[in-house]
């Protein structure tokens, strides 16, 4: 997957790490460790793939909160001298992707505010589908909004004076939210983790000595040598304080359809994470195995698009018996700083990141495996490179179905009109990509690869258009679109 | 108060421009010019002395507001590529000083928010004396606060749903404020300037072709070749929009004592500005003239502390007949970047900024003139330098009375306990400074130097302790102290 | 040796790209293209793995040379605005590794000087074994040295006044050099490529439209879509100018043993390059295949250390029939900026770069394949991670023999005393690494994997101690050691 | 004086500190102090006005030299962490101005090299008039040149193998130099100061406890609290080592005309320095006094162009009896970072640095005093500002004669064709500047202001065209011109 948001001015900027489909965010929380800020930093570092635009950490020293957030990558923002100035045993952290064009510091998280009950810092992963309505109501009530992020909405809801206790006001606020959300929150003396009742996004709990850790993915626990305990349950509000852990279930009496985002397995989560009860890497191997059964090929080698297609390609190879081979060399030096100098040399762009290994490819019938085709341009140029390197045939296999629908639950797909599967027929796509054969995994195949929960508990809306929530009135949709375009 | 880490390492940082007494802020506003952001930038540049910590500009392109603010100096923040991204014909700008130690981006202004009536950006110069009470009331009502600056309070007040029109809600909000304030505000299509009924801080109106300009000092008008029109009156709310200028007077029916901050003339404002109806440079010359009458000296030369004592020293010289002489050379390269390398060489610190001119001083009886003595340490080291350079006698003359009281109206004096005039008797100060004679201008002398308004209309609270407003209950005072210490 | 301070603070700096064995340099040259500097930049970018410390480009606009070089990565140094200031149709470029601790700008290349015949820029890859003697002779003659790099020596030799023509002086200079060297040189109107008669380091010639390209590896040709023509021959001096190509052979009458550095295949060169007549990736697969025959294992999966062991592991898997599996996830965000915050969290260091995939490893007998073991610490921690992830057995396989001897031909090995194979017996190494079995490829196996030239034409000195040149007198050796230690 | 060298790209860059006439360099040397690098840093800081482009420090730790140099201001380059890495008790330092357009790191000094006698670092202030011939001879001999600075020439001369001792080779080298030069040199164990026999540029000796200090101006001694001892004599080679001080006089037997650069007094040196035996500030006051006698004016106030005209204006005021007044306010925030945003706002440029004080000027007949008129544009705009501020008459007085001739001794004047005095008659200049009267100090008046040496011992070549040395053949002149234009 190539493609990348430019910085101001850097129109030719290409970054290795940019992903064309963007998760809204990654979260981490630490309770009760003297190096809370450092652990949050390391956790965020391992969740960097969930948001490359901005990063922030808020800590509590028991009396008040301190927050540092900025645009940029985790490692650039949190230098040792910055971490030193974030004292305390409680911390939350957040990484966030960038909306196109403008990178806005005001939307960086955590959001930290004073309100009648003290101070609170909030970070969010997901997308509320009733955000517009809630904002309108709050503004009518007199609220002001300094950002366009959902975290600010829940803070306003919690600040409403009607409730008597902090707990009550939290539950009341949560019950008004609709859509996909995980929150980590920090007050002077509490760490709180919240997951929406559908369970769209992952959030897990770990333990490191006496400290508790919350994280979007288990790879964050691994890095800091924390023990995985369990996932936060859909609809759970977990409060961690001096008295220990306490779980509240504000949606206990409501029937809510589980909707685990299957694209976390296909694309977003790191392969070394456990998400929704199973290994992401294993799921990806199975996706490749099923893909080989659904769409076999007569070929000499199976080649992954590195590194996104690695596991699926290996699975494909095992089932098909076609030898796995590395067909591209990845340049590890492409980072934020690489800029292609001139328009006339843009033709060189394709090979900057991946150079085909001619000796592996020449004269071969090649199966190339990737995890998804979004706009199609990158795939097309990979195929072209294989042909220039002498491939006799190119068979493309994709470890998920075609993307046709927007995600309202926290993934930033391109506009529908930019999705290749919405613009072309299967045959046209095949022709556009210039492949000898093309095979997408079926939705059934996709769901066959996940084993932890019943199939109907996964959200496949971006493939099927079957959304798990009401999407609100037109205003909400309009707001949602605008939020991405205009802010 | 949530806080954020300062930049690393700068414990030895010495800046040429740092001033021991700090104005809270400087303001500029532009209505109706295609280069609004650039003009705001230039205006802020000329007001840099009113706030060196952070700077911000908000613009309106007619439909929505765009804001850029950051810690640092105006010239460092607003590079051409940044200005290019601030489109529109309306703009407001703000510079702000730093509290000691922590520099907080969250407190940078303008503050830009969405509320029920659209968007609004607000910047403030001054200090509300009822801020704590207003915040408590607003929080009880459900408001959340992301910063500790007064601008956020007025925005919350304006967002209250009770009023019917934007104008009504603005006036209602203003009437609740007590203390010293000038505001510039920007909505999608209006520029608003507000000055408190006491008139503590200056705010003036200018015209550049068809455009209107608001600025804290007239030097900002000069730089952009705008014509000075008049001062915003104490208690005036000036609204500039498509229909032209409209003035509202929310305090018309209330009797309010005028309280022009005399320290603007003594110290804060640039000498090339007109403030409160007269030339700052001229006032300073008169301060020196009166000082020479009140505290004559038998001496050979009159030497200013450059550049703060220049005009007063010249006035002193004229009246006393003692020749004016440059006694120090100022190093113009001391900027943000200069760092003294090691503790052991800190002794070199004194001469880095000003080196005495031995040939002018040796064997002479020297009158040294400065605009104020705050803690006394700097003055002491200047005297020591003069003696090392061979001065036979040193007579210090100060163009204002001793500072003894805190300012609640927007100037950041050191704590009372750090003010030398509160800790030592006159004789002790003389001894501490090691001068042969010492003369402070009297309060009467001070007031004799200003000519535009009756004497009782100037605020001299920092010298006299006679405050022009009620200072609120204990809570307010406590809050105010804490705000400075804790945030 | 004059030295210069490194950048501040980076004691914990970990870079993804740092390689424990360092090639001295990478070279590129462009003749006759209007975008010569850009092509050189792209070429250097693809050779970044050959030198991460400094990079430089010299261009000729036909009349004079312009040079830009700096410490840092290619993409950081050559921003578009820098490239714009490097006009002309001829260019050479250079990347260089850093000696530990001190990074010295003065040693960055190309070296550009004025001498009696005009201007010349020189860049070097390799290591002269008679550098000390040549420097001494030159200094006795009156030469001054501003750096410690070999390029400066050849420039001094070329500046000697005895020869009549530029060509004669070049050949005379080359004949005095002993050791490993490739040079690219640039005068106002010529591009020159030189390879030592042993052929230690690779240098190839390509063509892009009418332009000629020189490069250390063919991957640089691929990136800019240049056609590979041939390798520069050992002992060839290739002069490219208006008249076309001209090859000189200053060592034609001397018998010189060919000595192609086999470690280019094992470790240094990019897998997508052709080096010494064959594909690096193919050679690496064969290394793995032979390794599997020499050291079979009873195991469940074969896991590479990514990405260095990828091809050998695949080869091992194919021959052994043990399934290939990805056992680690690589964090692609580790770049120059990542700093581990505190000593106490250094334990987290190991997993920052590679996190083991527990689900792939748990309960398995694992073969882990890497390309080399130098000090042994990294390998040891990889094994420990596998065991923590539940591996039942760990069998380490290494695709080259143990390193025991220093390289005098351009590779920066650690001191002999730091090479694990010099300090421990095979059994001790096995115990140190905590592996169930350990297998190094034999020297015969190593040589069986390369097919382009007779076995005796490869240099294996770092394994065998059989050096291909006289190493000079003690002074030379002493100088060489010091150069690395002291500068 | 306005005007400024641009950085790459920053075409609108205006810097407070840039001077339109540029001294080639400033020098400092420290012998025998444990904080040698820090003292050198502070010394350079106080000499920053002598060279704003690059700065460098070389130290000796007794065994070898370490050098750090870079483009930029002293305070930007020598951060504490850099100074920490410059160990030793001996140091030399250098500041340098930039040639137009290109700022070249390769020309930064000190130049540090290895040669047959060890290591040596050299820094230079001045300009050799036989540089071209010496370079040609050296190149013919086999020398290579990495820079275009004169320091490299003397190093080559010293490296010539003919002499037996280091002292002999130094004296032999010095005797070959012609023109203006001060050198400070550092070997492992010696500090050397050299001043040319004409004495064009100043160099003084000071003492700080047991340490010795060399510096271009005494203000560097003041800052570090060193005691001034004496000037290095014209033609003296002062060697400071373990045995103490030793002076050699290689030109003892040659008759050489003394030629102290009078422009050091008029313009270059800091007013708080003693140069050529007397106070710069005092000389400047006398220049103003004589100017008042030569060119009296009927006026109401005397106004300096701050700060360059301060002392002369004061002198003018004293003799004429016309009151001295501050007529402009200087903006102290203009530094390297200020960039004017757009061409259309360039009209604002003039007031950015100096804003006229209307209240002082309006309705007055103004004498404006400056130290020189070079191109005339800046003076013209100052006059225009005074008229816009309401001046009734403007009388310009200049404290030196018109500049008509190039300086071959170390000052970088604009090309002759750009000097206003070469292009216009006196009346035309008056008209161009739009002044009511204009008065330049006469050459006699100029020489009357200096008192330490007989008049004929001062160089006034830039006014009179009477050069103190032969200027070499055409080649030398051509070389000299080219060096500035082309490198």
Mutate to test the interface with C, among D143, D149, D172, D482 (most CBs of C within 10 A): D143
Give the relative orientation of helices B310-320 and B280-294 as an angle to the nearest 10 degrees: 50
Question: What is the radius of gyration, based on Cα positions, of chain B?
Answer: 23
pLDDT above 90 (res D485): no
Residue B89 three-state SS: coil
Question: What is the Cα–Cα distance from D285 to D264, expressed in whole angstroms?
Answer: 14
D82: chain C residues, CB-CB within 8 Å: 5, 8
Residues from chain D contacting residue C64 (CB–CB below 8 Å) = 486
Calculate the dihedral angle through the C-alpha atoms of B158, B161, B162, B163, rounding to the nearest 10 degrees: 50
Q: Is the pLDDT of residue C3 over 70?
A: no
Q: What is the CATH number of domain B277-464?
A: 3.40.50.2020
Neighbours of chain D (3+ CB pairs under 8 A): B, C
* C473 has a chain D CB within 8 A of its CB: no
Is the CB of D351 less than 8 angstroms away from the CB of B222?
yes
Which CATH number describes the domain made up of C275-334+345-463?
3.40.50.2020
Tell me the pLDDT band of A475, cut-offs 50, 70 and 90. Answer: very low
Question: Among all chains, which residue has been given the structure tokens 């149709």?
Answer: C89
For B36, C118, C165, C186, D484, the CA distances from C63, given in Å and listed in that order, are 47, 10, 19, 12, 17
Chain D hits for B338, Cβ within 8 Å: 45, 75
Residues of B in contact with D35 (CB under 8 A): 342, 344-345
pLDDT tens for C230-260 read 999 999 999 999 999 999 999 999 999 999 9
Q: Tell if the CB–CB gap between C139 and D121 is shorter than 8 Å.
A: no
What is the pLDDT at residue A106?
A: 82
10-residue averages of pLDDT along chain B (487 residues): 30 35 84 96 94 94 94 90 94 80 73 94 94 94 91 94 90 96 97 98 97 98 95 98 97 94 96 97 98 98 96 98 96 67 58 90 97 92 95 98 92 84 94 98 98 97 92 51 36
pLDDT over 70 (residue C283): yes
CA distance D130 to D480: 9
Q: What is the pLDDT of residues B163-212, one digit of tens each?
A: 889 999 999 999 999 999 999 999 999 999 999 999 999 999 999 999 99
Dihedral (CA of D437, D440, D445, D446) sign: positive
- For helices A474-486 and A131-141, the axis angle rounded to 10 degrees is 90
Per-residue confidence (pLDDT) for residue A17, from 0 to 100? 34
* pLDDT of amino acid C2: 34
The CA distance from B382 to the nearest CA of chain D, in Å, is 14
Residue of chain C minimizing CA distance to D144: C115
C14 CB within 8 Å of a chain A CB: no
Q: Does the distance separating the beta carbons of A119 and B141 come in below 8 Å?
A: no
Task: Name the token pair of D330.
Answer: 């200087």
CA distance C76 to chain D (A): 16
Q: Which of residues 141-170 of C touch A (CB under 8 A)?
A: none
- Which one, of C231, C266, C202, C269, lies nearest residue C48 by Cα? C269
User: pLDDT (tens digit, 9 = 90+) per residue, B105-139?
Assistant: 888 899 999 999 999 999 999 999 999 999 999 99
User: CA of C321, closest CA in chain D: separation in Å?
Assistant: 56
Q: Does A74 contact chain C (CB < 8 Å)?
A: yes
Question: pLDDT at position B5, please?
Answer: 32
pLDDT at A107: 84
Alpha helices in C31-92 (DSSP H): 36-46, 74-77, 80-83
By C-alpha distance, which of B422, B454, B296 is closest to B367? B296
Separation in Å, CA of D223 to nearest CA in chain B: 6
D355 at interface of B, judged by CB pairs closer than 8 A: yes
User: Residue A476 pLDDT more than 60?
Assistant: no
Whether chain B has a CB inside 8 Å of the CB on D289: the answer is: no
pLDDT tens column, D437-462:
999 999 999 999 999 999 999 999 99
Distance from C466 to chain A by nearest Cα, in Å? 32
**Architecture of the domain delimited by B18-259:** 4-Layer Sandwich (3.60)
Q: Which fold has domain C19-259?
A: 3.60.20
Q: Enumerate the residues of chain A whose CB falls inside 8 A of the CB of residue C334.
A: 75
Q: Does A388 touch chain C (CB under 8 A)?
A: no
Confidence of residue C182 (pLDDT cuts 50, 70, 90): very high
Residue B478: the pLDDT is 41
Rounded to a whole number of angstroms, the distance from the CA of C1 to the nearest CA of chain A is 31
Cβ of C355 and A331 within 8 Å? no
Q: Give chain C positions within 8 Å (CB) of A389.
A: none
Residue with tokens 């421009």: B17
Q: Is A140 at the interface with chain B, CB within 8 A?
A: yes
- CB–CB contact B272 D329 (8 Å): yes
By the CB < 8 Å criterion, does A344 face chain C?
Answer: yes
Q: Is the domain A22-259 a CATH 3.40.50.920 member?
A: no
Stated pTM of the model? 0.89
Q: Do D345 and B38 touch (CB under 8 A)?
A: yes
Nearest Cα of chain A lies from the Cα of C279 at a distance, in angstroms, of 7
pLDDT given for residue A88 in this prediction: 97
Between positions 356 and 385 of A, the ones with CB within 8 A of C are: 356-360
| A270/C329 CB distance under 8 A | yes
CB contact under 8 A, D307 and B330: yes
Q: Cβ of B485 under 8 Å from any chain A Cβ?
A: no
Q: Do D76 and D87 form a contact (C-beta atoms < 8 A)?
A: no
| Contact criterion met (CB below 8 Å) for A366 and A320 | no
CB pairs under 8 A between A and B: 109
C2 contacts on D by Cβ (under 8 Å): 58, 64-67, 112-114, 119, 121
The verdict on D46 touching B (C-beta cutoff 8 Å) is: yes
Q: Domain D278-464, CATH 3.40.50.2020 — does that match?
A: yes
d(CA C474, CA A438): 66
Supply the pLDDT for residue D164. Answer: 85
Q: With touching defined as 3+ CB pairs under 8 A, do chains A and D touch? A: no
Chain B window 303-322: which residues touch D at a Cβ cutoff of 8 Å?
A: 307, 310-311, 314, 318
- The angle at the Cα of C20, spanning C15 to C22, to the nearest 5 degrees, equals 105
Question: For D194-209, what is the mean pLDDT?
Answer: 97
The pLDDT of residue D98 is 59
Query: Among A310-314, B17-21, C335-339, D415-419, which stretch is predicted with the lowest mean pLDDT?
Result: B17-21
Residues of A (97-116) whose Cβ lies below 8 Å from C: none
What are C94-116's pLDDT values in tens digits? 999 854 334 578 888 999 999 99
Q: CA-to-CA distance for B44 and B59, rounded, in angstroms? A: 14
Task: For residue range D51-72, list pLDDT tens digits in order.
Answer: 988 999 999 999 999 999 998 8
D160/C144 Cβ within 8 A: no
Task: Note the pLDDT of residue B341.
Answer: 62
Determine contact: B284 vs chain A, CB below 8 A.
no
Distance of CA C230 to the CA centre of its chain: 20
Asked if D325's CB is within 8 angstroms of B352's CB, the reply is: no
Lowest mean pLDDT among A60-64, C171-175, C472-476, D35-39: C472-476
The ranges assigned to domains in chain C are 19-259, 275-334+345-463
Higher local confidence (pLDDT), A9 or A283: A283
Catalytic residue at D64? no
- CA angle D61–D63–D65, rounded 5-degree value: 60
Smallest CA-to-CA distance from A274 within A96, A457, A451 is with A451
């Amino acid at each position: 997957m190539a493609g990348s948001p430019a910085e101001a001015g850097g129109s030719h900027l290409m970054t290795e790490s940019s992903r064309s489909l963007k998760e809204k965010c990654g979260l981490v929380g630490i309770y009760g460790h003297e190096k809370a800020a450092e652990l949050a930093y390391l956790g965020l570092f391992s969740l960097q793939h969930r948001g490359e635009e901005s990063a922030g950490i808020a800590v509590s020293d028991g009396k008040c909160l301190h927050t540092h957030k900025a645009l940029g990558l985790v490692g650039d923002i949190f230098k040792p001298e910055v971490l030193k100035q974030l004292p305390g045993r409680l911390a939350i952290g957040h990484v966030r992707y960038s909306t196109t064009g403008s990178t806005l510091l005001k939307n960086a998280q955590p959001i930290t505010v004073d309100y009648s009950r003290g101070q609170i810092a909030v970070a969010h992963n997901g997308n509320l589908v009733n955000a517009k309505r809630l904002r309108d109501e709050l503004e009518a009530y007199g609220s002001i909004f300094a950002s366009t992020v959902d975290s600010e909405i829940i803070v306003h809801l919690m600040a409403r004076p009607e409730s008597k206790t902090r707990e009550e006001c939290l539950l009341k606020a949560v019950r008004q939210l609709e859509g996909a959300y995980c929150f980590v929150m920090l007050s002077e003396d509490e760490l709180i983790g919240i997951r929406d009742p559908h369970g769209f996004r992952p959030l897990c709990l770990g333990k490191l000595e006496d400290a508790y850790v919350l994280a979007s993915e288990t790879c964050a626990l691994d890095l800091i040598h924390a023990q995985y305990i369990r996932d936060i349950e859909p609809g759970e509000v977990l409060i961690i304080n001096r008295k220990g852990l306490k779980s509240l279930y504000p949606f206990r009496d409501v029937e809510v359809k589980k909707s685990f985002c299957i694209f976390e397995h296909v694309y977003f989560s790191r392969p070394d994470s456990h998400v929704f009860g199973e290994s992401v890497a294993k799921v990806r191997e199975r996706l490749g195995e099923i893909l080989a059964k659904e769409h076999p090929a007569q070929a000499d080698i199976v080649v992954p698009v590195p590194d996104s297609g690695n596991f699926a390609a290996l699975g494909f190879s095992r089932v098909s018996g076609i030898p796995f081979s590395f067909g591209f060399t990845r340049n590890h030096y492409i980072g934020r700083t690489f800029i292609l100098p001139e328009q006339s040399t843009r033709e060189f762009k394709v090979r900057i990141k991946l150079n085909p290994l001619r000796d592996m490819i020449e004269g071969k019938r090649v199966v190339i495996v990737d995890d998804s085709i979004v706009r199609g341009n990158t795939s097309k140029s990979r195929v072209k490179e294989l042909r220039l390197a002498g491939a006799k045939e190119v068979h493309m296999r994709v470890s998920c179905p075609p993307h046709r629908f927007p995600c309202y639950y926290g993934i930033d797909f391109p506009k529908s009109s930019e999705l290749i599967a919405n613009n072309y027929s299967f045959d046209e796509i095949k022709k556009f990509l210039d492949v000898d054969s093309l095979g997408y995994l079926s939705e059934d195949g996709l769901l066959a690869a996940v084993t932890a929960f019943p199939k109907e508990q996964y959200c496949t809306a971006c493939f099927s258009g079957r959304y798990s929530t009401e999407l609100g009135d037109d205003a909400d949709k309009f707001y949602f679109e605008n939020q991405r375009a205009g802010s």
